[in-house]
Amino acid sequence: MTVSNELIERLSTETGRRLSERARNGRRRALSRHAHFCVTITVDGQNTHDVYFEDTPTLGDIFDRIGPGVYIVAVTMKRRPLRERLRLALAAE
């Protein structure tokens, strides 16, 4: 029984895709442990203020936290400082 080159290529491609997806998910989990979501807001269009979320916020979460009459300037992911990561690691022990 022989295996065609087409089958080998298809299986190889599928395996590569699954490994890439697995690595991507691992990177996302690692990044989420070391980062938090920062929503930059403004009331007057001049001054900004950062509001932090531990998990990915929905629009409802953001609205509940900041209230009406506030403009969202940016939603970004910021790394936690090394000092905070060390403190969290020590607290986990």
Domain range enclosing 15: 5-92
- Distance from C-alpha of 88 to C-alpha of 79, rounded to nearest angstrom: 14
Per-residue pLDDT, 12: 81
What dihedral do alpha carbons 89, 78, 49, 87 form, nearest 10°?
A: 10
Sign of CA dihedral 72, 77, 83, 85: positive
What is the pLDDT averaged over residues 43-54?
Answer: 88
Q: What is the pLDDT of residues 56-84, one digit of tens each?
A: 888 899 899 988 889 999 988 887 677 77
How many domains, in total, are found in the chain? 1
